[in-house]
Amino acid sequence: MSLVVYLAALLLALSAILLFRRPRAALRNPLTASTCAAVSMSALCFICSAPVTLAAVNRLTGIPNFGAPLTYSMISAYSCSLIILLIQWRGGPSELVRRSTRMAITVFGLLIAAIIVLFTLADARTERLNDLDTYYANTPYMREMIVLYLVGHGVCIVVMSAVCLKWMREVTGPLRTGLRLILIGLLLDVAGFEIAKITAVVARWLGHDLDYLSTSVAPPVVSLGALFCSVGFTLPRLLPSAIVHWQSLNDYRRLTPLWTEVQWAATAPKPSPSWWELPYARLQWLEVSIHDALLALAPLFDDRVRRISLATALDEGNTPGQAHVIAEAAMLADAARQAAAPVGRRFEEPSTYRLHATGSVVTTELVELAQALGQSPVVAAARRGSVIASHD
């Protein structure tokens, strides 16, 4: 069982690291901080509940079953973090958010204090690493402690389910998907943890043995449920950024023909983007460098090449918009060829024409120019220098 819960803890810890990749920004954002705290608390719950961890804690403290109140306190703290996260996620007036947060901390703080007091009063000298809930189900004070932490976690699940169901009808997109994943996780939590644990404990009260529900069924199911909840909480936070990076990576690749054509003319310094911002930062640097190179080549633009290429592109059946982009790409290719020549062409009056892409703030215009450079036969002719020659 330790392997299952440690694996769940590892996956949850990775989620927390992704969310906490910028510590200063995360701490300034209550929603991000709350999400990191909830996911981290979930990971700690699994670490503390593993039999290997329980045995180590008991051995280090010298108190049999000391890992039990520690784990139950962690579960209660995790429940509190989920409630606080939902409060922050839901938003509203700042005073209401603060008051609700303080109330949640107070209630679950009292619950944790009660768990510790009840364990102190109980007689639990026999160490139980896997079946403590059922073994001590009829022991005074231990019985109350077990019921208390199960009720506290159950209340958390009911509140979260009600809020998620109500909120899900009001939102769309990644946030709604995240809420659905959270509800799936809560359902697994109810079935695999609450119902299984309570059934096993009640069976002990009635003189029956259904310990396997607590020892074998609950751990893997609740691990899966926690993973669903964590993905549901992190998805709306990470998905928009992931989409931006993926689009940036795609645009970076599509700009390769344009960069290959003009890179030698660029003078913009190359930065050192952090690993986390690599796709987006690289795209920004590439766009700046391309614009720099286009400005450097602008004095060599030949309007004749553009006009002839525009007519040729229209004759080939391209739309006016496509023909315009092809004509500009052909003029750019011709300017690059002239600039790279041993004795470049010099105009008495340099062209004042500016490419449409240099006046746009979106990447789409540069991408269209790059695609024309890499695909159009009209541009290939300009690159060979045959556009003007064929019309002289």
**3-state secondary structure string, 114-153?**
HHHHHHHHCCCCCCCCCCHHHHCCCCCCHHHHHHHHHHHH
Instruction: Map out the domains of the chain as residue ranges.
Output: 2-238, 259-389
As given in the structure block, the two tokens for residue 66 are: 């000391």
- For 354-380, b/e burial (b = at least 16 CB within 10 A) is ebebeeeeebebbbbbbbbbbebebbe
**pLDDT tens profile 31-61:** 677 777 777 787 788 788 788 888 899 999 8
| pLDDT digit string, tens, across residues 88-122 | 877 778 888 889 889 999 999 999 999 999 999 99
Q: What is the rounded distance in angstroms from the CA atom of residue 15 to the CA atom of residue 227?
A: 10
pLDDT of the residue at 20:
62
Backbone angles phi, psi at 360, to 5 degrees: -110, 145
For 65, 111, 190, 321, 323, the CA distances from 81, given in Å and listed in that order, are 25, 14, 18, 55, 58
Single out the residue of 293, 211, 221 nearest to residue 259, CA to CA. 293
Q: Mark the ranges of the chain whose per-residue pLDDT is less than 70.
A: 1-9, 11-13, 15-29, 31, 268-277, 342-351, 360-361, 387-392
Topology of the domain comprising 2-238: Rhopdopsin 7-helix transmembrane proteins (1.20.1070)
Most distant CA pair in the chain, distance: 104
What are the φ/ψ torsions at residue 210 (nearest 5 degrees)?
-125, 40
State the pLDDT at residue 275. 47
**CB contact set of 68 (below 8 Å; sequence gap of 6+):** 54, 119, 124, 132, 145
